[in-house]
Amino acid sequence: MKYVRMTSASIRDALGLAKEILLERLPLEVVSSDAHSLTLRGGDGTAKIHAHKHGLDTQIDVNTDQLRTSRLDNEVQYWLTMLPYQPGELRGRGSPALPAGLSRQGGT
């Protein structure tokens, strides 16, 4: 499947978070990487991640060789929700915001 996401995170931060989350949650290994891309492969399939700047934003393109309902695709989608949309928005591990912007603060 193909996924595209715009984020305010830098290329380095986005790829670093991908590596951290996906390698921890799935039995994958880094097959190749450079300053703008990362390829992960394992028993659950292959994910090719490419990041490039668009002005102040970073565009993330992810291609997997699995179906949208696969374990790999679920974890890729989870990682994408960890990336901030706006500068200053806190996302990722240990931050006060939950994936998809669900706040722990206020409201019910």
Measured between alpha carbons, how far is 53 from 73 in angstroms, rounded to an integer? 24
More confident residue, 100 or 35: 35
Are 76 and 68 in contact by the 8 Å Cβ rule? The answer is: no
Domains, the chain, in order of start with CATH, read 2-88 (3.30.310.80)
Statement: residue 53 has pLDDT above 80: yes
Are 46 and 40 in contact by the 8 Å Cβ rule? The answer is: yes
pLDDT at res. 101: 47
Statement: residue 102 has pLDDT above 50: no
pLDDT at res. 72: 97
Q: Which residues contact 86 (CB under 8 A, 6 or more apart)?
A: 8
Q: How many CB atoms lie within 10 A of CB 53?
A: 11
Please give the model's pTM, rounded to 2 decimal places: 0.82
